A and B are shown apart, each in its own frame.
Chain A
Amino acid sequence: MWWKLLLFFWIAAFSAVGLVTPIAGSLTELSMIAQWSAEKAIPVKFRTAGEPVSAEDGGWVIRGTDKHGHDADFHFSAIPENAGTRDGYLATARYDTTAHRVEVVEVLGEYPGFSFPFIPGLEERAKIIFFHVPMAWMTVVAFLVSMWFGIQYLRKKDLEDDFRSVASAGLGLLFCVLATTTGSLWAKFNWGSFWNWDPRQTSIFVLLLVYGAYFALRSAVEIEEKKATLSAVYNIIAAATVPFFIFIMPRIMPGLHPGSADDNSAGPVVSSGGMDAIMRFVLYSMLGGFLVLYGWLMRIQGRLHRIKLKRAELAP
């Protein structure tokens, strides 16, 4: 019992941390954004490095240091609350390229203890990584487990293994649908359309097809042993061709996901160091949480299965 509560709080806590932690950039991103769009304001955080001074145009200027230690004058249109005693700000700001100064648009709060980096082009949408990536990983894990029990069934001909294989394939399909939906919704807002036939989208589409076909095959065979053998064989054949999609194609073909052939911003995988340490920690914690969640769901499926067997035994 206790570990289920712990899991619940674990996932809830890291979801909250992932969603609530503010995104804050630095002066570097501020000047980068200014080259693309003059009007766009982005969140930045800085520590105050001097007293507020009134400017000629009626506003206020506070000297500030961003997280990389770079200094700049931050222009406020009105003096912020407790300006004299505050030691830092989280605020949306933009870089005025004509006047060459940083203008604070809106003060959001105090200097946050930790924050996620501002990634141009992703911004708040970067937070999907804590949910979408664990779902996609669980899909692959569930299908590998399903294939493993398929092999075990062929070796030992124990229907228990076949049941585990089916249960895992079912959970994999569930996670696959979740990852597809979240990814597709996200793509609408970041890439402009729900579906772009990016190599990874193709691969998840193929996974859906494979396991749709797997369950179609199972429903077409009546004898339990035959059903188990045929679906195990199909499972293994599918699992042998699916890596073409999941691990090879998204890497060698140009695409929109990180790690594609034409991607030079991040490394080939998330863990290569291209990612902020706090984000990576939250991501791995969520991955661990989802892994335990998958194990829990498998246990529930197992208990359901045993109840059904018992009922069939007791039935007249």
Chain B
Amino acid sequence: MLKQAFAIFWKDLASELRTRYAINALLMFVVVTLAVIMFALVGETLSPGALTGMLWVVMFFAAMSGLSRSFVAEEERGTSMTLQLLATPTAIYLGKLLFNLLLVLALNIFIVLLFLLTMDQFTVAQIDLFWFVILLGSIGIASATTIIAAIIAKANTKGTLFPVLSFPVILPLLMAGISATKIAVEEPMWDTVWPDLQLLGSYIVVVITISFLLFEFVWKD
């Protein structure tokens, strides 16, 4: 099963590197969004806490614009039936999850680096905690959006439905993530950030477990 999962992961990666559909769209999305924010912020002084909110807004909507790709592409190319015959649902879910995880991690690291470079006012008090929260947040976003993407790939209005369905499910993660990032950026204290980290961790476990259980129902026609 793991072999199958990795095969699907490599297949997605290879086809992505060949077409660069998601990567190009995502890079442009991030650059454009950051440019809009910077235009709006010329001459303004914002606290790092307020910029944290913007960082998460960019991360959330970047994920919304690119992550549904992995499943929607299968439906559009008409390859989902073949995939159903070749691999078990669990392996497919795992492969897609790994691919989305890689995509979100790369994307979020890129966003954060760009954010740190372009926003002079964005200073981080404790950089290791900050990156740890970004890592946990990325895993959470990837795990929640993978199953939602599988659902919307079967619906008619794929593009608009994805953020609508994802937002309420991701919201606990966003709130805990924003609160933890704020603490890491402003005044890092382990006892205040601990509940948020627990929430992030348990969220990831709950969502991945439930996705494993339910993916089969969504996937099989």
Partner-B contacts on A (CB < 8 A):
154, 202, 206, 209-210, 212-213, 216-217, 220-222, 226, 229-230, 232-234, 236-238, 240-241, 244-245, 248-249, 252
Contact A209 B167 (CB under 8 A): yes
Contact A209 B168 (CB under 8 A): yes
Closest-CB distance, A79 to chain B (whole angstroms)? 61
Contact A244 B207 (CB under 8 A): no
Whether, in the assembled complex, B164 has its beta carbon less than 8 Å from a beta carbon of chain A, the answer is yes
Determine the chain B residues whose CB is within 8 A of the CB of A217 once the complex forms: 151-152, 155, 161, 165
Determine the chain B residues whose CB is within 8 A of the CB of A252 once the complex forms: 195
* Interface segment, one of B50-58, B89-97, B100-108, B210-218: B210-218
Contact A213 B165 (CB under 8 A): yes
Which of A209, A232, A234, A237 has the most B CB atoms < 10 Å from its CB? A237
Which of B211, B214, B218 has the most A CB atoms < 10 Å from its CB? B214
Whether, in the assembled complex, B112 has its beta carbon less than 8 Å from a beta carbon of chain A, the answer is no
Q: A206-B168, A220-B156, A244-B199 are in contact. Are A237 and B161 (CB under 8 A)?
A: no
Q: Which of A202, A216, A240 contacts B164 (CB 8 A)?
A: A216
Determine the chain B residues whose CB is within 8 A of the CB of A220 once the complex forms: 152, 155-157, 161
Determine the chain B residues whose CB is within 8 A of the CB of A245 once the complex forms: 171-172
A248-B202 Cα distance, complex, nearest whole Å: 12
Contact A216 B161 (CB under 8 A): yes
Contact A233 B171 (CB under 8 A): no
- By beta carbon, the residue of chain A nearest B158 is A220
Contact A237 B207 (CB under 8 A): yes
Q: Which 9 A-B pairs have the closest CB atoms?
A: A244-B172, A209-B168, A220-B155, A210-B168, A233-B214, A220-B157, A240-B210, A213-B165, A213-B164
Q: Looking at chain B, what size class is its interface with the partner chain?
A: 20 to 34
Whether, in the assembled complex, B20 has its beta carbon less than 8 Å from a beta carbon of chain A, the answer is no
Contact A229 B207 (CB under 8 A): no
Contact A230 B155 (CB under 8 A): yes
Determine the chain A residues whose CB is within 8 A of the CB of B144 once the complex forms: 241
Whether, in the assembled complex, B206 has its beta carbon less than 8 Å from a beta carbon of chain A, the answer is yes
A245-B175 Cα distance, complex, nearest whole Å: 10
Contact B217 A154 (CB under 8 A): yes
Q: A220-B161, A241-B171 are in contact. List 5 more A-B contacts (CB 8 A).
A: A217-B161, A220-B156, A221-B156, A245-B171, A245-B172
Determine the chain A residues whose CB is within 8 A of the CB of B171 once the complex forms: 206, 209, 241, 245
A233-B154 Cα distance, complex, nearest whole Å: 12
Q: A220-B156, A241-B172 are in contact. Are A232 and B217 (CB under 8 A)?
A: yes
Closest-CB distance, A3 to chain B (whole angstroms)? 37
Selected A-B contacts with CB under 8 Å, 24 pairs: A206-B168, A213-B164, A213-B165, A217-B151, A217-B165, A221-B155, A221-B156, A226-B221, A230-B151, A230-B154, A232-B217, A233-B147, A233-B218, A234-B165, A237-B147, A237-B148, A237-B169, A237-B207, A241-B168, A241-B169, A241-B171, A245-B171, A248-B199, A252-B195
Whether, in the assembled complex, B203 has its beta carbon less than 8 Å from a beta carbon of chain A, the answer is yes
Partner-A contacts on B (CB < 8 A):
144, 147-148, 151-152, 154-157, 161, 164-165, 167-169, 171-172, 175, 195, 199, 203, 206-207, 210-211, 214, 217-218, 221
Contact A240 B154 (CB under 8 A): no
- By beta carbon, the residue of chain B nearest A209 is B168
Contact B210 A236 (CB under 8 A): yes
A233-B218 Cα distance, complex, nearest whole Å: 7
Contact B195 A230 (CB under 8 A): no
Closest-CB distance, B154 to chain A (whole angstroms)? 6
Contact B214 A236 (CB under 8 A): yes
Determine the chain B residues whose CB is within 8 A of the CB of A230 once the complex forms: 151, 154-155, 218
A248-B152 Cα distance, complex, nearest whole Å: 29
Closest-CB distance, A248 to chain B (whole angstroms)? 8
Closest-CB distance, A315 to chain B (whole angstroms)? 25
A237-B206 Cα distance, complex, nearest whole Å: 9
Contact A244 B203 (CB under 8 A): yes
A146-B68 Cα distance, complex, nearest whole Å: 27
Q: Which of B151, B165, B206, B218 contacts A240 (CB 8 A)?
A: B206
Q: A221-B156, A237-B211 are in contact. Are A229 and B165 (CB under 8 A)?
A: no
- By beta carbon, the residue of chain A nearest B161 is A220
- By beta carbon, the residue of chain B nearest A216 is B164
Which of B157, B172, B207 has the most A CB atoms < 10 Å from its CB? B172
Determine the chain B residues whose CB is within 8 A of the CB of A222 once the complex forms: 156
- By beta carbon, the residue of chain B nearest A199 is B175
Determine the chain B residues whose CB is within 8 A of the CB of A249 once the complex forms: 172, 175
A298-B192 Cα distance, complex, nearest whole Å: 45
Contact B172 A233 (CB under 8 A): no
Contact B217 A233 (CB under 8 A): yes
Closest-CB distance, B126 to chain A (whole angstroms)? 22
